[in-house]
Amino acid sequence: MSSSCVFPAFRLQRTAALCVLAWSAAVGGLAHAAQEAAPELGDVFVTATARPEDRSRIAATTQTIDRADIERSSARSVTDLLAEHAVGFLSEWTAAQTSMNLRGAATDGQGRDYRGQVAVLLNGRRAGTANLSKLSLSDVERIEIVRGPASVVYGSQNMGGVINIILRTGATGGGNRASVVGGSAGLWRADTQISGASEQWDWYIGANAGGRDDYSAGSGGGEQRNTSYKRRGASGALGWQLADLHRVEVQMRTDGIYNAGFRGSGANIYSRDNRYNQSADLRYEGALPGGRVSWLAHLYTFEDVDEFNWASPVIKSGVNAVPGTARDYNIRKLDASGLRLQPRLRLSDSNDLLLGFDYEKNRLRSERERNAMPGGPAGQVAPYDNNQTEHTHALYLEDAQNFFGDRVTVRAGVRKTWGETRFDQTPNVAAALTTARDYDKTTWSTGATWKVDDAWSLRAGASTGFRAPTASELSADFTAVGGGRSFGNPNLKSESSRQIEVGTTLRQSAWKIDAALFQNTISDRIITVSRGPTTNTSDYANNAADIVARGLELSANADVGKLLGVSFGGPVLNVFGNGYYHFEMKDKGAAASANTDRVQRMYQYEAAGGLRLSRGMDRNPGDWSAQLTALLRGPMWYDTEENLLIPQGEPSSTFIHRKGAFTVWNLRGEYRVSRGMKLFAGINNIFDLNRHPIFIARDQRPCLANPIFQNGGCGTSMPGREWMVGLQADF
């Protein structure tokens, strides 16, 4: 038996995700070679428990977006891809900035992972950013999502769930490939991947570049100035199979979006961003003969950079417009190094114990320079984030015990996290003193699964998560581009979450459906509280009471021909969909003066689904597919930062708006010219809707926003109808 991975089958059963998935993908007959049943690749999941497991034995709701889904998508970034699969609410402020909400937990609006409640990972370790727009798709093998704080493998930020982006390596590269794409608004993209393997070595190199000019809004709108961007990225991996049970892998990468227009909540046509993320990983996986003891040692380092070239010629002072800034430059760098050790013990044929130790040291450094317009604000101000140094370490374990011939799995885990957040000297922070704040938190998860039969499984679980406050939240004194000022609070508590869920999966040869009921309760969420509607000043504080998200999640897919027992004359028709509905999304700590207690920046419901008609799956000339998808973005509540006209836009400056639901339709088709060449094309937003996921003031007349404060725009809309064509070569 041979493949590009060149790993023995029994070794794969004991290693971490990437090697298992690579072997399963490359060799469909692994189960027969090992003389045992193994789940299909789509049913192997690694993120929830840090080792490959059949999803029917995981007591959490999970979701996978695999390489086939990525290749069938017209997504330009990880943000676009997650939106296409209705993973959660995605704000999509600009092409360079996205925040998200998952089961009531939200990431920071600027994508800072140290202030987020959803953990974004790269290959199982912290990515260093929760801004998904920063990350491209070219080198992504698959994305795994764990909903809610259902895993003790991950520490701070794991309150609403985990997004684990698994990158391609020499073991999973899948051959050599190059592609080019062109489209409307000057869209272009080019990427290439090459990989190879020998008996001991495997390697992978990938590179991508792209960009887009200013796009046009949908019906009734015009060109959206300052929405262009450029992308650049590269990735390389080298794997060394020291012996049958020992492997070393090193991976280096850089990914970023540059010269990206940032219109923000003010439709600003002057601001530009450079945002990039770089990292290096060294992994060693080993096992003792027989596989009773195995381990992972993972050493990593990353740098995450946000460079803001912002300007706001007009800013707000109370309710008045005053001269602002000709330049407001802020650069923020997060550097981190960490170590993960995960020994795994097979205590018996029915018991599996995972132990873990994590350590990370990170440093955040910011600088800011502001140049005023004539008559504008004199002097320099503090950067958006205080400088800080953080040390964290954690011990954790999770034990899984199988009963009744492996039909029932009971698992439980606990994690103890210790940390120190030290406020470091920060430019232009008045009376700054170096101080430190310690924290220690215990989180846990427990659950059980019951495989009733080969087609039906049940699950139930309970878990907790947390996030410690940052130095900025504890002691900030910064002034926003638009003139608003925020102050820290040294008495802040850590945020925490508590979740319960039950779920079921039904599978037949022609269809599969998964459903889950959940409740996630978030306590002590860190928010900003205004000092008054005319002050433009706020303080950090813990929310006065809990936030509760309770809902139903569904995913399904089916082969229509098999399901109905009919033939389409050769082509195969598939239907697929993901969605959720929140029965309750309540902020029990909402101010009495607020016009609603709904949780903000969170959809009441969302769904994504479609039809795919295809012929041929073997890369034969003449194979083709056509896919029609729809994304329903449900109602959302938002206390917007936009300066809306009164009473046209809002009756008061603290009014919480309800954005109505809308649906976007996309179409994509592909045709294989030869075994090594494929043509593809797509149209997004077929009906040319003029909408935006988060902004109230869109590019339409009459303006809802006050032009005095807009700095160049009436409002911001998402792209209208877009087209793209491309060519992919496999060699």
- Answer whether 188's CB lies under 8 Å from 211's CB: yes
Cα-based distances in Å from 227 to 129, 223, 514, 629, 719:
22, 9, 38, 25, 10
Q: Among 3.10.310.10, 1.10.357.10, 3.40.710.10, 2.40.170.20, what is the CATH number of 9-405+419-730?
A: 2.40.170.20
- For residue 344, the model assigns a pLDDT of 96
- For residue 7, the model assigns a pLDDT of 31
Report DSSP letters for 57-94, one per residue: G-SS-EEEE-HHHHHT---SSHHHHHHHTT-SEE---B
- For residue 482, the model assigns a pLDDT of 67
Distance CA 147, CA 62 (A): 6
Q: What is the DSSP letter of 482?
A: T
Distance CA 110, CA 365 (A): 16
Residue 278: CA atoms inside 13 Å, Cβ hemisphere, count?
A: 8
What are the structural domain ranges in the chain?
Answer: 9-405+419-730
List, for residues 682-729, the tens digit of each pLDDT value: 999 999 999 998 888 899 888 888 888 888 878 899 999 999 999 999
- Answer whether 145's CB lies under 8 Å from 64's CB: yes
List, for residues 349-365, the tens digit of each pLDDT value: 999 999 999 999 999 99
Distance CA 7, CA 22 (A): 10
Write out the two tokens for 486: 């925020």
Write out the two tokens for 610: 């479609």
- Residues with pLDDT less than 50, the chain: 1-42
Across the chain, how many H-helices and E-strands are there? Answer: 8, 38
Distance CA 82, CA 514 (A): 18
- For residue 54, the model assigns a pLDDT of 86
Collapsed DSSP state (helix, strand, coil) of residue 25 = helix
List, for residues 125-160, the tens digit of each pLDDT value: 999 998 888 888 989 999 999 998 988 888 778 899
List, for residues 424-445, the tens digit of each pLDDT value: 888 888 766 668 889 999 999 9
Q: How would you classify residue 379: left for phi > 0, otherwise alpha for psi between -120 and 50, otherwise beta?
A: left
User: Which candidate, 160, 182, 70, places its Cα nearest to that of 116?
Assistant: 160
Distance CA 449, CA 501 (A): 12
**Interstrand relation of 161-167 and 119-122 (parallel, antiparallel or unpaired):** parallel
Write out the two tokens for 156: 């701070």
User: Position 364: which residue type?
Assistant: L
**Interstrand relation of 526-530 and 511-523 (parallel, antiparallel or unpaired):** unpaired
* pTM of structure: 0.90
Cross-strand partners of 90: 100
Other beta carbons less than 10 A from residue 526's beta carbon: 21
Cross-strand partners of 512: 507, 557
Q: Is the dihedral of CA 634, 639, 643, 648 positive or negative?
A: positive
Write out the two tokens for 104: 């009531």
Distance CA 631, CA 464 (A): 31
Other beta carbons less than 10 A from residue 176's beta carbon: 15
- For residue 40, the model assigns a pLDDT of 46
